[in-house]
């Protein structure tokens, strides 16, 4: 029988093996620190929420020329326009989508260090590219125009990102321990001095000079969701890891940490409603999202539209529209497109194996297949079609102002649904991560209820509350994990 070590000593212990955790580990290891990284999942189930992402990361940059050397070469670059994304753009977007509730100091650091942090990670061995399939439509002349401020992503998406992180960590000498959840913090005289671990061979203690918590939010715990997000949230589908159950947030609060951020809102998206195994699916991962909705309309089971599908680029609306689906009858809705729009839908999502879709030659037949009243859906589509301003040219690469003046209005990209066959993709609410966590400063030091740093304790990633509320700009979560993970690891 293998002996269970009673106490292991190291300099830095990182709790959580996603993007933020590995970034923190790299920063500490680069300084010569001895690092142990604890991952709750077994190796084949590891990577946290980061594994399930597309790898999109929002950074400040000056355009395609400025991204040279960061993104991998692509033959399409010669015919591609990537508008600069300035610090002012980033600050404006964060303030807009959070309705001004984003912490100004955390925001300033995120913006100032987003580009340099990605360059640093790239220098360590993480690989990046332009996200053509997600952030640009090919124009009639064969060129591409990127939109929405989100242009850069990891090669291989979330899976590729985590493979790169693991490789780099091993090169730097980090001790990665899988199937090893931390169960509580060790506190001595007001200082955090380590963690208790439940490993494959039993429980033991790790003593460390610094503990960095990067174990995610509480989105995978139905009871905590209902308690903090409200009734009905226990029914949301978990997009990512099943291991983000809030254990280490609660452990930090028990150790005196203050609450940070908005505990009552979260990142939630439109998610495949009826495909079996539509939670924490490591094979399909992000392919279960349905993010071409700005091109069509969304109706509930009564055949009624209930939001503005074209209010803004999807980067600024997708993380809040899952909540709107949850509020609908049965927490289900249908994205409707016609044959003219169907080729524009994201291939990786809408051609997913087993996708929840109904197809019919007429709107009435489509309604019958989805359980919607044919009369109701025909009226909704007719009202929408007749209210479109067809004098404005459709352009999916810009906010084109081609609206439909029905109720609710559609502000952009209104195209009539006229050409059969018609398609209805069933969607529900998929929860990504919760916005509430622990209170921290710009170096990732965890603060107590009085605003004082708790010695030895740091946090990064989804555990660090304060940046997001109500909504979030796409790609800023991974960027924040990188920036504040690096900062915590540099100080630990």
* The CATH number, out of the four listed (3.90.930.12, 3.40.190.80, 3.50.50.60, 3.30.1330.10), of the domain defined by the range 7-217+435-491: 3.50.50.60
Instruction: Pick left, alpha or beta for residue 38 (phi over 0 → left; psi -120 to 50 → alpha; otherwise beta).
Output: beta
What number is the average pLDDT over the span 142-171?
A: 98
DSSP type of residue 119 = H
- pLDDT tens digit sequence for 249-294: 999 999 999 999 999 999 999 999 999 999 999 999 999 999 999 9
Separation between Cα atoms, residue 462 and residue 215, nearest integer Å: 8
Q: In this structure, are residues 432 and 266 in contact, taking their beta carbons and an 8 Å threshold?
A: yes
Q: In this structure, are residues 264 and 229 in contact, taking their beta carbons and an 8 Å threshold?
A: yes
pLDDT reading at 12 higher than 70: yes
| Partners of 260 in beta bridges | 437
Q: In this structure, are residues 248 and 21 in contact, taking their beta carbons and an 8 Å threshold?
A: no
pLDDT class for 4, splitting at 50, 70, 90?
low
Separation between Cα atoms, residue 199 and residue 7, nearest integer Å: 12
Measuring CA to CA, which residue among 108, 158, 478 is closest to residue 319? 478
What number is the average pLDDT over the span 46-50?
A: 98
- pLDDT tens digit sequence for 445-464: 999 999 999 999 999 999 99
pLDDT reading at 65 higher than 60: yes
Separation between Cα atoms, residue 221 and residue 246, nearest integer Å: 7
DSSP type of residue 421 = S
Q: What is the dihedral of CA 242, 243, 249, 250, to 10 degrees?
A: 90
pLDDT class for 6, splitting at 50, 70, 90?
confident
pLDDT class for 107, splitting at 50, 70, 90?
very high
- pLDDT tens digit sequence for 189-247: 999 999 999 999 899 999 999 999 999 999 999 999 999 999 999 999 999 999 999 99
Separation between Cα atoms, residue 347 and residue 2, nearest integer Å: 49
- State both tokens at 102: 């984003």
Separation between Cα atoms, residue 460 and residue 475, nearest integer Å: 16
Which DSSP string corresponds to 422-446? EEEEEEEEEEEEES-EE-B-TT-EE
Residue intervals in the chain for CATH 3.50.50.60: 7-217+435-491
pLDDT reading at 416 higher than 90: yes
Please report, rounded to a whole number, the percentage of residues in the chain having pLDDT higher than 70: 99
For the four alpha carbons of 473, 474, 475 and 478, in that order, the dihedral sign comes to positive
Three-state SS for 392?
coil
Measuring CA to CA, which residue among 9, 23, 3, 11 is closest to residue 483? 23
pLDDT reading at 1 higher than 90: no
Q: Report the run of H or E that residue 9 belongs to, with start and end.
A: strand 7-9
What number is the average pLDDT over the span 123-145?
A: 97
Q: Check: CATH 3.90.700.10 for 267-430?
A: yes
Separation between Cα atoms, residue 328 and residue 300, nearest integer Å: 6
Q: In this structure, are residues 185 and 255 in contact, taking their beta carbons and an 8 Å threshold?
A: yes
Please write down the HEC assignment for all residues of 314-359. Answer: HHHCHHHHHHHHHCCHHHCEEEEECCCCHHHCCHHHHCCCCCCEEE
Tally of CA atoms within 13 A in the half-sphere of 52 that contains its CB: 25
- State both tokens at 17: 């093996």
232 φ/ψ angles, rounded to the nearest 5 degrees: 100, -25
Question: Residue 174 burial (CB < 10 Å; 0-12/13-18/19+)?
Answer: buried
Please report, rounded to a whole number, the percentage of residues in the chain having pLDDT higher than 90: 99
Which DSSP string corresponds to 395-409? -TTS-----B-SSS-
Mean pLDDT rounded to a whole number for the chain: 97
Separation between Cα atoms, residue 3 and residue 5, nearest integer Å: 6
DSSP type of residue 53 = S
- pLDDT tens digit sequence for 430-447: 999 999 999 999 999 999
At 216 the pLDDT is 98
pLDDT reading at 3 higher than 70: no
- pLDDT tens digit sequence for 108-125: 999 999 999 999 999 999
**CA 47 vs CA 176, 207, 267, 307: distances in Å:** 12, 24, 19, 34
Residue 405's CB is within 10 A of a number of other CB atoms, namely: 14
Residue intervals in the chain for CATH 3.90.700.10: 267-430
Separation between Cα atoms, residue 12 and residue 7, nearest integer Å: 14
């Amino acid at each position: 029988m293998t002996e269970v070590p009673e106490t292991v000593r190291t300099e830095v212990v990182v709790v959580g093996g996603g993007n933020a955790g590995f970034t923190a580990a790299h920063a500490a290891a680069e300084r010569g620190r001895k690092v142990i990284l604890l991952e709750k999942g077994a190796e084949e189930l590891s990577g946290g929420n980061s594994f399930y992402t597309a790898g999109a990361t929002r950074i400040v940059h000056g355009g395609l020329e400025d991204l040279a050397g960061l993104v991998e070469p692509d033959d399409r670059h010669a015919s591609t326009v990537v508008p600069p994304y300035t610090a002012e753009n980033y600050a404006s977007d964060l303030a807009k989508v959070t309705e001004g509730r984003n912490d100004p100091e955390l925001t300033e650091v995120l913006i100032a260090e987003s580009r340099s942090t990605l360059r640093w990670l790239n220098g360590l061995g993480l690989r990046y590219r332009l996200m053509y399939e997600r952030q640009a439509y090919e124009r009639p002349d064969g060129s591409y125009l990127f939109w929405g401020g989100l242009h850069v992503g990891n090669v291989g998406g979330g899976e590729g990102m985590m493979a790169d992180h693991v490789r780099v960590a091993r090169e730097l000498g980090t001790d990665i321990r899988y199937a090893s959840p931390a169960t509580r913090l060790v506190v001595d005289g007001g200082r955090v001095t380590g963690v208790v671990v439940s490993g494959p061979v039993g429980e033991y203690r790790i003593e460390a000079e610094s503990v960095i918590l990067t174990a995610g939010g509480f989105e995978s715990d139905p009871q905590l969701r209902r308690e903090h997000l409200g009734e009905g949230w226990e029914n949301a589908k978990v997009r990512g890891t099943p291991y983000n159950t809030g254990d280490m947030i609660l452990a930090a609060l028990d150790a005196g940490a203050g609450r940070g951020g908005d505990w009552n809102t979260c990142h939630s998206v439109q998610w495949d409603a009826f495909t079996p195994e539509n939670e924490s699916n490591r094979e399909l991962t992000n392919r279960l999202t349905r993010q071409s909705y700005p091109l069509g309309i969304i109706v509930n089971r009564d055949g009624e539209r209930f939001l503005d599908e074209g209010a803004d680029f999807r980067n600024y609306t997708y993380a809040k529209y899952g909540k709107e689906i949850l509020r609908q009858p049965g927490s289900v809705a249908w994205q409707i497109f016609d044959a003219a729009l169907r080729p524009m839908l994201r291939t990786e999502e809408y051609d997913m194996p087993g996708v929840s879709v109904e197809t019919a030659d007429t709107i009435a037949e489509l309604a019958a297949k989805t359980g919607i009243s044919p009369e109701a859906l025909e009226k909704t589509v007719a009202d929408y079609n007749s209210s479109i301003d067809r004098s404005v040219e459709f352009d999916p690469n810009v906010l084109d102002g081609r609206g439909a003046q029905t109720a609710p209005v559609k502000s952009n990209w209104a195209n009539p649904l006229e050409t059969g066959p018609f398609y209805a993709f069933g969607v529900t609410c998929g929860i990504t991560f919760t916005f509430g966590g622990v209170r921290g400063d710009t170096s990732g030091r965890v603060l107590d209820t009085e605003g004082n740093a708790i010695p030895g304790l740091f946090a990064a990633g989804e555990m660090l509350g304060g940046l997001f509320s109500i909504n979030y700009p796409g790609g800023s979560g991974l960027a924040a994990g990188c920036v504040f993970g690096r900062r915590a690891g540099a100080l630990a």
